[in-house]
Amino acid sequence: MGMIEGFGIQGLQMLLVVALAPGLTGLVRRIKARLMRRRGASILQPYRDIARLMRKEVVLAENASWLFRAAPYLIFAATWVAAALVPTFATGLQFSWTADLIALVALLGSARFFLALAALDVGTGFGGLGASREMMFASMAEPAMLLTVFVIALVAGSTQLSTVVQAFSGPTVGLRVSLGMAAIALIIVAIAENGRIPVDNPSTHLELTMVHEAMVLEYSGRHLAMIELAAALKLLLYVSLIACLFAPWGIAREGDGPAALAFGALAYVGKLAVGGSALAAFEISVAKMRIFRVPSFLGFALMLGLLGTLLLFVSRTL
Amino acid sequence: MLEISAAAALGLLLLSLTAAFLGGRGAGPIYALAILPCLVAGGAGLGVLGGAPVGALTLPLGLPWIGAHLRLDSLSAFFLVLIGLGGAAASLYAVGYGRHEEDPARVVPFYPGFLGAMMVVVLADDAFTFLVAWEVMSLLSWALVMAHHRAIEVRAAGYLYLVMAAMGTMALILAFGLLAGTSGDYSFAAIRAAHHSVAASVAIAALVLIGAGSKAGLAPFHLWLPRAHSVAPSHVSALMSGVMTKVAIYAFLRVTFGLIDPLPWWTSPALILIGAGTAVLGIVNANVASETKRILAYSTIENVGVIFTAIGLAQAFAADGLHMAAALALSAALFHAFNHMAFKSLLFMGAGAVLNATGRRDLDGLGGLIHRMPVTAFLMLVGVMAISALPPLNGFASEWMVFQSVLASPALTQLGLQIIVPAAAGLLALAAALAAAAFVRFYGLGFLGRPRSAAAGEAREVDRFMLAAMALLAALCALAGLMPALVLDRLAPVTQALVGGHLPQQLAQPWLTLVPVSAARGSYNPLLVFVFIALAASAAAWVVHRLGTRATRRGPAWDCGFPETSPLTQYGAGSFAQPLRQVLGGTLLAVREEVDMPPPGDARPARHRVIQHDLIWERAYLPVADAVQRVATSANRLQFLSIRRYLALVLASLVSLLVVLSLWG
């Protein structure tokens, strides 16, 4: 593949993820509303929200520091770079070798780190509440995700996402117990990391049950727009990651022509729609759990990841 | 090169004598003078890593029939660089920090000698020189810990440190006794040439693990560390945590990878488990501790655990003949040791700056320092990002390499390792996530939010020397993070000497990418990650400001409509730790929470109390201390005997020794 073409696909992918992310959030909200027999807002509503927030004045708390103002852009940038590394419609992206799966986990960790710091910056009770709970969840979810990464890397023989996807879409991998465990663990981590029911409720208005929302209570205007966009991107990232690892059908391979790329893009949008609908259906069928139930929920993912890794250490074929 | 570094160490020891003569006067110039030998020694170390010949030297010092053997090979050189860099930064910091010392005569004379003794430890080439330098290092650091000896907690910490240091040195003496065997030649050259049986090698390794591990803070010998490191003057804390723990790691590497025959594979699972367990134990404690320097000391224990895990992996790979993988794991361990020197020294200096500006080290008395001490706050942000293993800083680069070496370990054939390594990987992943939580708490409560005490609200930025030292270390963190090749390529001679393999040259990789094995296996390019994040953030800011609005207004905090003015309504050290304490503390810390709720109508305030235990202290240390106390009390009777009975005792012991000797022969 030529350099120019590689850059083109990489750039296209970066724009694509930002463009699609609010749509996915809108889709999930819409389907949830329909399943609850409400009309629900248009799928385009998140776009409108972000555009409106960007034009609104920012009201900063009196003692907010520069960290509070810089954090939204850093959070967005870290999430965006992470999302750009996940193959969506094509593998063999120009810059896929800059960061592997471990670095991807760490990039999401950086975004969370700054979000938690920003929550503590103004010095309100809710900010601290959100930050301490978020870090507690993360201390379970991140190792679970890393162990899932180990399972995937051991099966594919690489931590490089493009290489992994090419290996997984080939005939050699097949069905494996360890990969099944990794898939379940990754889905649990995705639910927790995106603050979805049953871990956290993204549409809650009750402060004491908030985690993510409690951290961003002090944000307004363009800063809030960045944070909302980053949250949408993160959801898209996890859906794309699960799709490209466990449903790598239709992804264009390195050096494929425009027809394959177009088909890949179409398949990708289809996968997003399926993933979003599944999430919405799951969310309306369970209740939110108590906060101290969450560690056992995430501990289950951690154990699955550990078991998967152990299986692969003992036998390469499991 | 060896002569230069020996001269540097000697210069530091002489500086100590001068300072003792001056009795605490002229602290500033003495600290400033200590910078030079550190830089010289570090430069000499770099020279050897860059290809200068290995030097050896025998000085007519010490025991008359042995002399003092010194040698500067690649392993010594790497650690000499660590000591040089850490020592130079700490000395520069001390030029400013030392001015506020209440009793400089208790700090200044010991400080240069402590640095010099650490250098002699890594240069020593015979057991006698090594042990003398080790003991001098221990005693001088003990004296430095005791600087503020009027506080009872300092005396308690100093006593515990002294006991643990004595135990560690005893283990090392026994280890060297076994190493020298019956021939009694204590020079490392003779020890290297001698053959040791497997049983002897394992015993030696275990003794060195106790001796060096207790100095490095390996569980269960770690308890003195958070106590002693947190009460020492801050530049000394930085040296003890950042540098002295590395000298201990040097001792372990020197003996197990150089002096004895390669260990059998079944010793490595123990090492890996001890390391990973130490990492989790340390960081869980860091998450519930409430004093800044104590949190940092507990995090040192975590990082030492990570380093020992990687060393254990290297040992397992080397035992199986996988030299490339062993080189990867050992490079990861050494790189992490280097990184930990940089960011932990930086963080201790920052904690010292805060202590200096506010007089407080409890998180519940800090807050809002980002406004009052902007430069310190920024440099500390770099430090906490590095230690939380966030890309693109150095902590992540070495952590990434540790994980890559874990991923290489299915090649190990033994079932024991195949079960232990994934478990250790899980523990390491847990420790990494918990470290981020601990440092969000550390930074968020210490530097962000509103001041929780008057002292924090009136803090002033510290002086230029302290800021310059911290800025240098922060730059080192960024440099080693963005261009890990600069450090990793220097490690090649060390890993070649220790495990017979080295990583491919990293500087030669395209775009300075970090490629430990092959590009297909995994690569990471911190420089590009940094550029991408910077570009993405500025592009986002540009678009938002261009298409949206720049309008900004300041107003009171929203806080859901009920902003509370008291800073005590913010989350504090105890409340931030509560979720994790509840999740992890049950088994590890035996945490119990008690709520005392007065009945309706009673006007007394409700109280919440957290009771937590240090199980290792209570179950392992206190019983031993009690037993020693009992034995000592009963032996106390011997103090009040008559001269006749003493003579009878002497005779009895003489006879029994003679009997033993006759039976032995």
Read off the pLDDT of residues B568-590 as tens digits, 9 standing for 90 and up.
889 999 999 999 988 887 777 88
Q: Smallest CA–CA separation between A35 and chain B, in Å?
A: 31
Total number of domains in chain A: 1
Report pLDDT for A92: 65
Residue that terminates a domain, selected from B542, B577, B607: B542
Residue B633 domain boundaries:
615-664
Domain-located, residue B643:
yes
- Span A147-169, mean pLDDT? 90
B367 touching A (Cβ < 8 Å): yes
Of B449, B537, B580, the CB nearest to A73: B537
Residue B157 in any domain: the answer is no
Indicate the SS3 state at residue B95. Answer: helix
The whole-angstrom separation of Cα A234 and Cα A81 is 11
Is the Cβ of A295 closer than 8 Å to some Cβ of chain B? yes
User: pLDDT tens digit string along B589-603?
Assistant: 888 888 888 999 888
Chain A residues touching residue B381 (CB < 8 angstroms): 67
Q: Which of residues 133-172 of A touch B (CB under 8 A)?
A: 133, 135-136, 138-143, 146-147, 150, 153-154, 157-160, 163
Residues B283 and B409 in one domain: yes
Q: Which residues of B touch A221 (CB under 8 A)?
A: 548-549, 551-552
| Domain annotation covers residue B297 | yes
- In chain B, residues with a C-beta closer than 8 Å to the C-beta of A121 are 370, 444, 448-449
B637 shares its domain with B528: no
Q: Work out the angle between the directed axes of helices B127-145 and B111-123 (0-180°, nearest 10).
A: 150
pLDDT at A174 over 80: no
Collapsing DSSP to helix, strand or coil, B431 comes out as helix
Which one of B328, B558, B566, B575 would you mutate to disrupt binding with A, by most A Cβ within 10 Å of its Cβ? Answer: B558
Pairing assessment for the beta strands B607-611 and B552-555 based on DSSP bridges: unpaired
Provide the pLDDT for residue B267. 92
B599 preceded by a cis bond (ω within 30 of 0): no
Record the tokens describing residue B423, joined without a space.
């478990």
pLDDT band at A254 (very low <50, low <70, confident <90, very high): confident
A135 to chain B: nearest residue by CA?
Answer: B437
Which residues are within 8 A (CB) of B8 and not within 5 positions of it... i.e. 6 or more apart?
A: B37, B38, B40, B41, B44, B116, B119
Lookup result for tokens 């920052």: B350
Question: Poorest-confidence range of B1-5, B60-64, B197-201?
Answer: B60-64
Of A80, A81, A99, the CB nearest to B524: A99
Residue of A66, A81, A108 for testing the chain B interface, max B β-carbons within 10 Å: A81
Average pLDDT of span B514-520: 78
Q: Which residue, among A200, A287, A260, A284, has the nearest Cα to A235 in the 3D structure?
A: A200
Q: Is B379's pLDDT higher than 80?
A: yes
Q: What is the pLDDT of residue B654?
A: 95
Could you tell me the residue range of the domain that residue A279 belongs to? 3-314
- Give A271→chain B minimum CA distance, Å: 26
Question: Is B389 in the A-facing interface, judged by CB distances under 8 Å?
Answer: yes
What's the confidence (pLDDT) of residue B54? 85
Closest CA of chain B from A63, distance in Å = 8
**How many of the other CB atoms lie within 10 Å of CB of A277?**
16
Nearest-by-CA chain B residue for A299: B583
| Domain-terminating residue out of B520, B542, B564 | B542
Do residues A164 and A92 lie in contact, with contact meaning Cβ atoms separated by under 8 Å? no
Tokens 């400001």 correspond to what residue? B545
Whether residue B456 sits in one domain with residue B363: yes
> Least CA distance to A80: which residue of chain B?
B536
User: Whole-angstrom Cα distance, residue A297 to residue B659?
Assistant: 67
Count Cα atoms within 13 angstroms, Cβ side, for B217: 32
Nearest to B52 by CA among B83, B73, B26: B73
Asked whether B337 and B425 are in contact (CB, 8 A), the reply is no
Determine what percent of chain A is predicted with pLDDT higher than 70.
Answer: 98
Q: Which residue of B has its CA nearest to A298?
A: B583
Last residue of a domain, one of B542, B566, B594: B542
Determine contact: A117 vs chain B, CB below 8 A. Answer: yes
List, as ranges, residues 525-554 from B with C-beta within 8 Å of A.
525, 528-529, 532-534, 536-538, 540-541, 544-545, 547-549, 551-554
Would you say residue B168 lies in a domain?
no
ipTM for the whole complex:
0.95
Task: Tell me, yes or no, if A95 comes closer than 8 A to chain B by beta carbon.
Answer: yes
Contact A132 B418 (CB under 8 A): no
Average pLDDT on A146-174 reads 88
Instruction: Please give the pLDDT value at position A2.
Output: 61
Is B628 a member of any domain? yes
Tokens representing residue B286 in the block: 């860091």
Q: Are residues B540 and A154, on separate chains, in Cβ contact within 8 Å?
A: no
B616 — contact with chain A (CB < 8 Å)? no
Instruction: Chain B: give the shortest CA distance to residue A107, in Å.
Output: 7
B583 with A95: Cβ contact below 8 A: no
- Identify the CA nearest to B575 among candidates B454, B428, B444: B444
Give the model's confidence band at A1: pLDDT under 50 very low, under 70 low, under 90 confident, else very high: very low
pLDDT tens column, B307-356: 999 999 999 999 999 999 999 999 999 999 999 999 999 999 999 999 99
Residue B526 within a domain: yes
* Residues B405, B417: Cα–Cα separation, whole Å: 14
Q: Is B433 on the interface with A (CB under 8 A)?
A: yes
Strands B592-596 and B552-555, by their bridges, are unpaired
How big is the A-B interface in CB pairs under 8 Å? Answer: 290
Count of other CB atoms within 10 angstroms of residue A35: 15
Band the pLDDT of A60: cuts 50, 70, 90: very high
Residue B368 falls inside a structural domain: yes
- Separation of alpha carbons B314 and B294, rounded Å: 30
Q: How close, in Å, is residue B580 to chain A by CA atoms? A: 6
Q: Does A310 touch chain B (CB under 8 A)?
A: yes
Q: Which residue of A has its CA nearest to B371?
A: A65
Q: Which residue of B has its CA nearest to A51?
A: B548
Shared domain check, B519 and B632: no
Same domain assignment for residues B323 and B454: yes
Does B442 reach chain A within 8 Å, measured CB to CB? Answer: no
Q: What is the mean pLDDT of the segment spanning B412-425? A: 90
Q: How many domains does chain B have?
A: 2
List of chain A residues whose C-beta atoms are within 8 Å of the C-beta of residue B443: 117
Minimal CA separation from A37 to chain B, in Å: 31
Q: What is the pLDDT of residue B592?
A: 84
Q: From CA A134, how far away is CA B442, in angstroms rounded?
A: 15
Residue B324 within a domain: yes
Which positions 566-585 of B are in contact with A (Cβ < 8 Å)?
567, 569-571, 575-580, 582-583
**pLDDT band for position B410 (cuts 50, 70, 90):** confident
pLDDT of B184: 73
Mean pLDDT of A264-268: 91
Cα of B660 to nearest chain A Cα, Å: 52
Q: Which residues of A touch B556 (CB under 8 A)?
A: 61-62
Find the mean pLDDT for residues B501-528: 83
End-to-end Cα spacing for chain B: 48
Q: Which residues of B touch A302 (CB under 8 A)?
A: 426, 430
Closest to B577 in 3D by CA, of B291, B279, B237, B276: B291
pLDDT for B254: 95
pLDDT in tens, B187-217: 898 888 888 889 999 999 999 999 999 999 9
Cβ of B522 and A59 within 8 Å? no
> Inter-chain contact B583–A295, Cβ cutoff 8 Å?
yes
B515 shares its domain with B418? yes
Residues B277 and B382 in one domain: yes
> In this structure, are residues B282 and B154 in contact, taking their beta carbons and an 8 Å threshold?
no
Region B81-88 average pLDDT: 96
